[in-house]
Amino acid sequence: MIPNIYWSEKTREKNPFLHDRNQRPLTITLHNPSLQNLSDIDKDAIEAIYELSSLDYFDLLDFEGKRARQIKIQSMNTRNWNTTAEIIDLNGDVECNFGGTLIRSLNQREQFFDGVRITSNLQCNYNDAFGCLSLHLMLNRDIFVTLSPDLIDSRVQRETYNVFTPVEAARLIGLLLRSKGNWTLRKYSDGAFLIDRSLFYIHLMKYMLPMHANYHRVDFEQLLEEELIENLNQSFWTKCTHALQAFDEIRRNYLLPQNNLTREDLLYHFNYLTLLLSGALDTQAAIVKECLNINIFESKINFRKDEFLNEISKKGYTDLWDVLTSEKNKSLFKMLNAIRNSIHTTGLSPYGLINMNRPETSLSEIPQKIGIKLMEYAQNIGGSKEWGIFREDYMLYNANTEKEKLTFKISTNPYIFANKLISEIFPFFDVFYETLTNSLLKNGYRLKPPFEIPKGLINDDKYLKRIFVLY
C-alpha cells in the first residue's frame, strides 16, 4: 500500500498530482547506505526509481552521486551538530549550498520521534539514517526512501516525515506517471519503452491472475453456449481492468491535500470500484452456471446463495464448493455485497478529520446497520482495523427531551478499505480459476494448445515485473 503523504505548508500549494499550472515535480531523496541485502523486488523498485526519475515529473537526490544528483556533507560542527551541505550535479559541479542542525544525540532523536526507542549507533557519516533524514527535511522534499529499520519502524509515530520503502516509492512513481497519462515502463539513455493504458492493465491482470491463463485454454466446444462463455470471460476481464483503474483514481485523490472536492471524487471512484468487483463476482458465478450446466433461476446465480452452491456440490465439483464456502470467502462475498448495496439505500457520507500535527484525512460514515455487518464480516478477513473500519461512541443531546443518549457511528477510510479489498479479491479470483480449471479437467474437459503471443503484447518477464512494481 502506498502510504499517505503529508504535504507541508511550503509544498502544499503546488502538487505533483495536479494537472494545471500548480503542478510540480515530486521530490525524492534516496538513502543509498541503507539499501543493503536487497530482495529481488527491492532491487527492481530501486532500478525503477533511478530510471524513471529522469523524467520531468520527478526530482531525485541521493547520497552517492553515481546515478543522481548528490547531497554531500561539507562541514559538521560536532559540538552543536550545525552542518553545511551541498548538492552536486551529475557533472560534479556544485548546484547550491544549504545548512542547519542535524538531529544527533539520542535524546534529541527521541524527542524528534515522540519517544520512540531508537537503537541506531551515532556516526558522523551517511550511514546515519537520522542525519540524512534531517538533511532531507532541511530541503523541504517530499519523500525519503530508505530501508533503515529505525526509520521504517518509527514512521507510524511520525508519518509527516513521509518515510517510504523502495517498493512504496516505485508504486508512487508509477501512480504519478499514470495520472499524467504517461505509460513509460523503462527509461534508457537513448530512449524509452512505452505502452498504452489498455496494455498496461491487461498485463497487470496477467501478473495478478497467473492461473487465468490455463483456464483460458479450456476447450468449451462441447458446450452449446460456447460463445456465451467467451463473452462472459471478456466481461470479467473488462470489469477487473476497470476496477484497477478505479483503484488508481482512489489512490490519486487520497494522496492529494484533502478537501471536499477530493472527498467527493474519492467516494465516486470507491462506489464504482465496489460495483465493478461485485459485477466481476456475478460474472464468475454465471461462468460456473454455464460450465456446469446448472439449471436454476437467474436470481439464484450467486456465490452467496445456498441453492446455487448446493447445485455445484451435486454436480461433483467439491473442490470448487470448498473454495466458495470457506468462512473467509463467504465473509468476503458478504462484505463486498454489503458495501456495494449501500449505493441503493442510505449511502456512505464523506467527511474530513483533522488531528494535530497530522494531515487532514478523508473518511466516510457508513449507515449503522451496514457498518455493524461489515465489522462482523471483517473478523474473518483480518479484522476491522485492516479494512480501515472503526466505531465511535458518543452522547447525543435531544433538545426536545433535554436528555442525552449513548449512540455511535461507524466509519471507514475508503483508501484503506479499497486497498484491502483489492488485496483479498484478486487472490480469490486466481484461486477460483485454478480450482475451476482443475475441476473441469477432472470432468472430461481438455486444454487447447498454448496460445501464441500476439504482436504488440509483452512477452518479456522483466517488463511484466516492472508493471507489477509500478502498481
The sign of the dihedral angle between the CA atoms of 187, 191, 197, 201 is negative
pLDDT tens for each residue of 25-59? 999 999 999 998 999 999 999 999 999 999 999 99
**What is residue 452's DSSP assignment?**
P
Kindly state the average pLDDT of the residues 126-151: 87
- Residue for grid cell 478477513: 381
114-118, 138-142, 267-271: segment of lowest average pLDDT: 114-118
Q: Where are the domains of the chain?
A: 9-191, 198-470
pLDDT tens for each residue of 254-291? 999 899 999 999 999 999 999 999 999 999 999 999 99
What is the rounded CA–CA span in Å between residue 135 and residue 21? 29
pLDDT tens for each residue of 74-92? 877 666 667 889 999 999 9
* CA neighbor of 437 nearest in space, from 228, 307, 285, 291: 291
Residues 6+ apart with CB under 8 A from 449: 217
